Amino acid sequence: MKKYAKIIDSKTYEVQLGVGCSDEYYQEIGMTLMEVEQAYNGLWYVTGKAPQESQAEKEQKVRAVRNCYLSMTDFTQLPDAPITTEEKAQYAGYRQYLRDYTNTANWWQQYPLDFDSWKE
């Protein structure tokens, strides 16, 4: 699919994108065939000019997923949790994995495993 674009910010090289094969239409509205890429923020830029997500932003996203997994498994450690003793022990191990996750090298480069993937 052809990508047509018009630069809308000459400092950042952000573009307005048009996708299709109607050369005439896109030329009429001021767009040209251009090599573009989508950035992490969902916006489109001239290839090579897209902003990169900072390490702090990546860390925040990974921590949020980790915290969600911890919250989802809180109930498993209650005395009256509707799970077996063996399952409770598995969840305890998984929760420790999650708490230790940010101590591993380059942890922010990928999300922690969900429980089912972790126990395999």
pLDDT digits (tens, 9 = 90+) for 21-33: 888 999 999 999 9
For tokens 């997994």, what's the residue?
Answer: 69
How confident is the model over 9-61, as pLDDT tens digits?
999 999 999 998 888 999 999 999 999 999 999 999 999 999 999 999 999 99
Contacts of 21 (CB under 8 A, 6+ apart): 1, 2
Q: What six digits make up the tokens of 95?
A: 């929760």
β-strands 44-46, 36-38: how paired?
A: antiparallel
pLDDT at res. 21:
83
* Prediction pTM value: 0.70
CA distance 60 to 37: 24
